[in-house]
Amino acid sequence: MLRVDSSKPCKIVYSLCKHEFLGYVIEPHMVQLNPQGDFSLTYQRLFSHTAKEFARHLLSLIHI
């Protein structure tokens, strides 16, 4: 896992993980896009303290 460069194109994806005590949990990840616009192998788990770094990408998901 490499750190995603927030100045380059990336998309949010969600994974479903089974937690020992909480059951199934949805985890958000930011995945870097390659020059062709496809997903690369560079990803980063999204936490509340790292969300500001990706605000530009997250706000593009909201359609007003």
pLDDT tens readout for residues 16-57: 999 999 999 999 999 999 999 999 999 999 998 888 888 777
Instruction: Give pLDDT, residue 54.
Output: 84
The residue with greater pLDDT, 56 or 5, is 5
Token pair 């870097």: residue: 32
Check pLDDT > 60 for residue 1.
no
Give CA separation, 17 vs 24, 57, 62, 63, 64, in Å: 6, 24, 25, 28, 31
Q: What is the pTM of this model?
A: 0.78
Report domain extents, the chain.
10-59
